[in-house]
Amino acid sequence: MQPGNKIRKLLEEMTLEDKARQLTQINALYIKPTAKAEVTGVSDDMRLSDDDIRGVGSVLNFGDAEDAQFVRATHLENSHSKIPLLMMQDVIHGYRTIFPVPLALGCSFDTQLVEECAHMSAVEAKYNGVDVTFSPMVDLARDARWGRVMETTGEDPFLNGEMGKAFIRGYKRGGVECCVKHFAAYGAPEGGREYNTTDISERNLREYYLRSYAECLKEKPAMVMTSFNLLNGIPVNGRSDLLLGYLRGELGFDGVVISDYGAVREMIPHGYAEDERECARIAANNCIDIEMMSSTYIHNLPDLVRGGEVSAEKLNGMVARVLALKQKLGLFENPYNATDAEKAAEVCLCEEHRAIARRAAIKSCVLLKNDGVLPLGAQCKSVFVGPYADSKDILGGWACAGRKSEAATIAEGVKNLLGRSVTAVKGCDVGLLSTDESGIDEAVSAAAEADVIVACIGEPADCSGEASSRADISIPRVQVKLLERLSALGKPIVAVVFGGRPQVLTVVEKLCSAILYAWQPGTEGGNAIASLLYGQSNPSGKLTMSFPRSVGQCPIYYNSFSTGRPKGEDILSNCCYNSSYRDELNSPLYPFGYGLSYTRFEYSALTLSSPVMRRGEEVEAGVTVSNVGDCDGEETVQLYIRDLFASVVRPVKELKGFKKIALRAGESAVVTFKIDESTLAFYTADGVLAAERGKFIIMAGGSSQNVLSAELRLED
Ligand code: BGC
């Protein structure tokens, strides 16, 4: 990138110290001196002087429009250079109006909806002073123990890429730039334990983990964030092959790269860099343009440049990229960007945004089981029990400026819908380790009066998200106890389950007649769930992460390999010389792509326009989908492939397309997908992305475990 005149001039004027500060991002609390004393978000390791604080290039986590005005004004007033601040915030699933967590939103399989949600959050965020959001997060996640699975859209690289692009389009349209994260492979920590080592083959990395970042770059996000983790023995910020060779080189990314929070300095505890000077040298040479929340650049970069360990040209390139982003955002003309407290108040939580959040929640919930008890009739005498029956703690992690008090609980949602109050009894706490059963009797006696019991259960809201891994992802003990006592009443139980990850629902499945997985549904959660329970809306969500039967199956994902000793049927192994467990099935309890509706869809007549495809040609796959139930509904039609024999073994299934369609009761439609060489391509044994001749199975269906198939042959 060639800097324009303005930027060239600034580069000439700035000292090395100014430049190092420009490449540093700090918590805005440093600039709000009144708050500083009480705050835990500032770090002693930073050792920042007043001059450093005055000169920084960007800040994060600054609060709302008024805070933003204050921070921008204070900075402008005090900074020598008068270069405006870049203001960033984690706007992950909504700003003030909170829509479902990304993992839930992914289950909508609706990229337009995702774009609309991102657009709405950008509109709220920009008036509150946000220039760039730290989103989308497109890390591939296969292990539900990892708390951050809630931030991604799931276990499939293709789906994550499509969803990531939709997020970016929405943010940009709404006037906010974005930052794709966490490059790379942050989603594969060993044991699902947060910040843990990632060790995956370079092939696996390229084929599965890098895909979604690469796809997102097609929508030209302004920034990419590097991750905390060690990747195959080297912290990501130290991997020149990835950062320079792949990201800047192969993918041609010329935007701003930012480290994650404190991650540049963390190369010391990783055991990679000896001291801060070495951290700064490594990170700068790898073109980490902004160091977030550590100060190795401020303290070392000028000297490193004077000593020739980082070239002046490299440093200027980094500063130029940051300044170019500020220029693109128009900050030089208007350092306050769109910050506007009045407009912010107007749009935040407006009826239009609430309606989008409600729709998103409706489309994100997944109906996992239904023996016919759902939907409930308006006259049905239902009693709501469990810690989530009347809980406002349903926004989920990273809820930005969202307020729990503004969320609609299930009890409120049902009251809004039916126009009468309902009985809601907590019964027990939500806590993972809670053992207090003293409230269960009250819940059971209330439930004894009901025709149908709605048990609102799940993991505590703060048990997913950053630094929230779990070793046991089953429903907390005391809640299972509650379910067991309710089940002894012999009445149908509908479980509404909350959580930021797939949980082990094996016991819930046994005890309940229906299960609606509500995730962390956001501000309009209660209204959305009520609408689904009472049949005003028809569930249409499909899982984007497999739900294990036992935690010991993790990591579990649909696009796995056959192995040389596959186990055919889904029965417990009586022969130990196949790939299986002695005490558990191989299959998940609920697979990727699965989700029920109040109607039924049947698939028939999967046809290919030709059973043979020559290189350069295209084949069309068509499948008939019929709504054979008695209500209207929406279905996500999924296209999978399997390459039967290849120079590198291919997974048993790979998602290659999806289309969401609405069908009236009794209606049918033919859904088509284009297949060409790129659909069949993978990184071959020679390391090139190409399709190899031979046999493929093309599959279409309503879940990864329920498909029709046809054979296709690729010929030279
Ligand atoms: C997280 C990032 C986030 C950043 C800024 C880090 O701890 O890993 O995802 O964007 O903090 O809040």
Mean of pLDDT values over 389-398 = 97
181 lines ligand 1 (CB under 6 A): yes
Distance 261 CA to ligand 1 centre (A): 6
For residue 4, the model assigns a pLDDT of 87
260 lines ligand 1 (CB under 6 A): yes
Q: Do the Cβ atoms of 501 and 149 come closer than 8 Å? A: yes
Of residues 267 and 40, the one with the higher pLDDT is 267
> For residue 32, what pLDDT band results from cuts at 50, 70 and 90?
confident
Encoded amino acid at 623, one letter: V
Question: What span, in angstroms and rounded, lies between the C-alpha atoms of 468 and 463?
Answer: 5
Paired residues of 623 in beta bridges: 671
62 lines ligand 1 (CB under 6 A): no
> For residue 657, what pLDDT band results from cuts at 50, 70 and 90?
very high
Atom from ligand 1 closest to the CA of residue 137: 9
One DSSP character per residue, 358-375 reads HHHHHHH-EEEEESS-PS
224 lines ligand 1 (CB under 6 A): no
pLDDT tens profile 196-241: 999 999 999 999 999 999 999 999 999 999 999 999 999 999 999 9
Whether 716 sits among the annotated catalytic residues: the reply is: no
Q: What token pair was written down for 93?
A: 């699933």
Q: What's this model's pTM, rounded to 2 decimal places? A: 0.97
pLDDT tens profile 124-145: 999 999 999 999 999 999 999 9
Distance 558 CA to ligand 1 centre (A): 29
Mean of pLDDT values over 330-343 = 97
Atom from ligand 1 closest to the CA of residue 227: 8
For residue 441, the model assigns a pLDDT of 98
Q: Percent of the chain, pLDDT > 70? A: 97
Q: What is residue 309's three-state secondary structure?
A: coil
Distance 202 CA to ligand 1 centre (A): 25
139 lines ligand 1 (CB under 6 A): no
**Is pLDDT above 70 for 531?**
yes
Atom 4 of ligand 1: nearest residue by CA position = 261
Question: What span, in angstroms and rounded, lies between the C-alpha atoms of 502 and 459?
Answer: 10
φ, ψ for residue 286, nearest 5 deg: -95, 10
Of residues 80 and 707, the one with the higher pLDDT is 707
Q: What is residue 545's three-state secondary structure?
A: coil
Query: 67, 260, 390, 643: which one is catalytic?
Result: 260
Q: Peptide bond before 182: cis, by omega within 30 degrees of 0? A: yes
Q: Do the Cβ atoms of 268 and 298 come closer than 8 Å? A: no
Burial class (CB in 10 A: 0-12, 13-18, 19+), 668: middle
pLDDT tens profile 643-656: 999 999 999 999 99
pLDDT tens profile 464-515: 999 999 999 999 999 999 999 999 999 999 999 999 999 999 999 999 999 9
Atom 12 of ligand 1: nearest residue by CA position = 90
Mean of pLDDT values over 81-95 = 96
pLDDT tens profile 272-318: 999 999 999 999 999 999 999 999 999 999 999 999 999 999 999 99
The 3-state secondary structure of 376-410, one letter per residue: CCCCCCEEEECCCCCCCCCCCCCCCCCCHHHCCCH
pLDDT tens profile 319-331: 999 999 999 999 9
What's the chain's length in residues?
716
Question: What span, in angstroms and rounded, lies between the C-alpha atoms of 246 and 683?
Answer: 15
For residue 487, the model assigns a pLDDT of 98
Per the prediction, the chain carries an average pLDDT of 96
Mean of pLDDT values over 661-672 = 98
Q: Which of 260, 290, 292 to mutate to test the pocket of ligand 1 (most atoms within 8 A of CB)?
A: 260
**Is pLDDT above 90 for 335?**
yes
658 lines ligand 1 (CB under 6 A): no
**Is pLDDT above 80 for 573?**
no
For residue 1, the model assigns a pLDDT of 63
Q: Percent of the chain, pLDDT > 90? A: 94
Q: Which of 59, 91, 134 to mutate to test the pocket of ligand 1 (most atoms within 8 A of CB)?
A: 134
Q: How many CB atoms lie within 10 A of CB 77?
A: 9
Q: How many CB atoms lie within 10 A of CB 121?
A: 31
Within 403-510, strands assigned E span 423-425, 452-458, 493-498
Distance 215 CA to ligand 1 centre (A): 21
Under DSSP, the state recorded for 137 is: B
Q: What token pair was written down for 20?
A: 């190092």
For residue 577, the model assigns a pLDDT of 86
134 lines ligand 1 (CB under 6 A): yes
> For residue 553, what pLDDT band results from cuts at 50, 70 and 90?
very high
Question: What span, in angstroms and rounded, lies between the C-alpha atoms of 509 and 485?
Answer: 15
**Is pLDDT above 60 for 37?**
no
> For residue 80, what pLDDT band results from cuts at 50, 70 and 90?
confident
Distance 259 CA to ligand 1 centre (A): 9
Mean of pLDDT values over 633-646 = 98
For residue 3, the model assigns a pLDDT of 78
**Is pLDDT above 50 for 36?**
no
For residue 567, the model assigns a pLDDT of 84
Atom 11 of ligand 1: nearest residue by CA position = 261
Mean of pLDDT values over 624-643 = 98
Atom 8 of ligand 1: nearest residue by CA position = 260
**Is pLDDT above 70 for 447?**
yes
Encoded amino acid at 367, one letter: L
